[in-house]
A and B are shown apart, each in its own frame.
Chain A
């Protein structure tokens, strides 16, 4: 089961800006202040996505999502990203 470090997460599967990071039980916890500030992926980054990366909105009110990538689950909090996704889904 491949470990996902904060660095590899940022490089391979990032969907938003990452601020403070910390390990959580069973996965990795990350949080962000503003997804909108994240620069677009470079071509080499976009070409290096490790299989499907799924974002499961755990709690819309707090902006907590679970990112399923590889054999790992990353906890990530980003209210702006969640708002953007949910509005796009309507």
Chain B
């Protein structure tokens, strides 16, 4: 999965597990950033339905000077209350508004902007407090008009900033069953080392929810010079984005139901580029990666330069990837895409290079306008507004990264290399799920599946 349960430690702490980060330019000279948590929510998972954790700090980090450290952070902190201590139920009747007396367990949140300034204390500004998260989508009797509840939970914080925090349908799509069964990519099982008949891909997250933190911010709030760049080749046009979750260092559990935390905040999860920790970093170092800063990602660069998956593909698909098998060089293409951004001169009219500091960040060139007709393959499909120039909800990042690792992007740095014929056709096979829908406006990510409806009869 992009980063669902991707490391041993965080897989045991789902409320702090950052599953995906999206960042893309949206209308009105804005950028929308979404960081998702709580992987693979079963929509019917009550009576204690999913929620954010009051003891976690959820940060959206922005690096606009290329040093791998945040210049701006939008921090989300939650507060949970029980309004009726005498019931086991999440709700005692239909929830028809965000202040419904029938809603027993609810969350509000505070958004704080933190601006890091060299040689001075960070400047913190509370942008909003007491903001309501919507309830989980229970079913037609408990949450009869869910769309209106979700819409009411979009908060306008002024100065062009909007936020939303709550349950959503997971926008990520992937055939997990095939990936983790020795990369038996459907529909290419017949070519696998252990072959079976070819069948269509199956989206393992087709009816799973997540909890999304979404923020829409004017571009000028994010760039290093405070302006809206118009020249894509300008260094000021590129920002790096990642989500990260933090817990205090120690927890003391008491005899009653509560516990208390103490000590400084430590990072327990992060996510910039999808699949980085999942597929690139060895299992023995995944927890270390989650606890470290992008500024220190140089120590993980060797796994990008020689990705394990690139050596597995020719073994698992005998005779299918001969050119990839013979490519015994560091992958300068992947190092650029994932750790520094793509420098100018490789793709006409495009760059998202942030400098020589190797850092896993989702890099977005905000001078590239939204594509009128997005291509799910992003840059690989000739669409400069898509992954790895940021990431949109509909970008097929599994296929893009699969093809990139298989050699599709290596000609950018070595024009003499010819990718294997299979590279242009391999795919995840789950992009066309008709049940996956999106909203037309912020926060764009789809409404969550209702517990009453999943699984379908």
Contacts and interface: CB of A to CB of B under 8 A. Distances in A.
A53 B262 CA distance: 7
A68 B250 CA distance: 8
Interface string B246-261: 0011101000000011
Interface residues of B, number: 10
Nearest to B121: A3
Contact of A1 (B252, B260, B261, B265): B265
Contact of A73 (B249, B252, B260, B261): B249
Interface residues of A, number: 14
A27 interface: yes
B263 interface: yes
B264 interface: yes
Q: Chain A's interface: helix, strand, loop or mixed, by majority?
A: strand
Given A1-B265, A68-B263, A52 B249 contact: no
B265 A69 contact: no
Given A71-B248, A73-B249, A54 B263 contact: yes
Nearest to B251: A52
Given A68-B249, A68-B250, A71-B248, A52 B260 contact: yes
B265 A73 contact: no
Interface string A45-82: 00000011110100000000000111111000000000
Contacts of A71: 248, 263-265
Given A52-B252, A54-B252, A73-B249, A68 B265 contact: no
13 contacts: A1-B265, A52-B262, A54-B250, A54-B262, A54-B263, A56-B250, A68-B248, A68-B264, A69-B263, A70-B262, A71-B263, A71-B265, A73-B263
Interface of A: 1, 26-27, 51-54, 56, 68-73
Interface of B: 248-250, 252, 260-265
